[in-house]
Chains A and B, each alone.
Chain A
């Protein structure tokens, strides 16, 4: 009877980015799998313990073919953590979840080249989303900050590792996720999550607060928990130790 509803410690939600291999299968899959086997044969365990994302953008295949391909990769010990570019009708509970918003990094090097006797024309099956000059794998340096000049529409999701500045409004059902702080010069009606990469000093600013949810470094508040007096006002949020704090900027 004494259900504890007032937990002193809230559940923490955090974003984290990992480097995943992206496999881009080509039709017909039989031929492509032969090439993949050839690659794996040259370097046993190349895919072992690596997160692999399957990019099926632009492939005219149905759900059965996709499930079959994921199964065939599974028998080769290539486990797929997510699928990119698939139509929602192709996915289901029995398939890995959809992924989107991936950022290209440098190409991951293919294991040692084939013996010289083989024709060198075989295309590398492992490639990242965009061709970029080989860069060091973990990108170091300052995280990128972005400025968004368009309104963020319902259903859109924006992520960057640095700060985000939004000149327009963030619609109900839209989300903005930043490693750093979030500045919104219009109305915040959707979700804003700042400091998601573990930055407790990040803040959220908006000119008019109508938010569905706000979060900093994993601490969050939903619209219900926000002080009603802040609605419609210019507001900023920050973390005071482990206390989620809001203050008017008027």
Chain B
């Protein structure tokens, strides 16, 4: 998708995140934080010309994209170079990342790794654990918004 579309989605997801509490709403908080960060990551990767602003949507299958026919509202599957990434390192880009994007990706991976125990699984977060999640989110957003030269209101 286009850089502007990713940023628009980030703002909507970030606003939704602000209505959730990382402890009481941990499942949806984790998922929303992840999606917000992935959109900023895609915007930053496009801006750095490490990936392309293709008019296609990443599917649930790594490396498989859905290409829209906007006149008819239909989708066609396609395999092409990224494109949007689905998660940090998925698909792998095979090229070193600038430091800010690499640091953001590490922070994003921390959030992504919360999915199995706390969203799909039945583990209960330890008391105070969410402070680390919020720090990771802020780190990811700060590094990527610097890269994109956009301001994020807090």
- Chains A and B form a bound pair: no
B contacts, CB < 8 Å to A: none
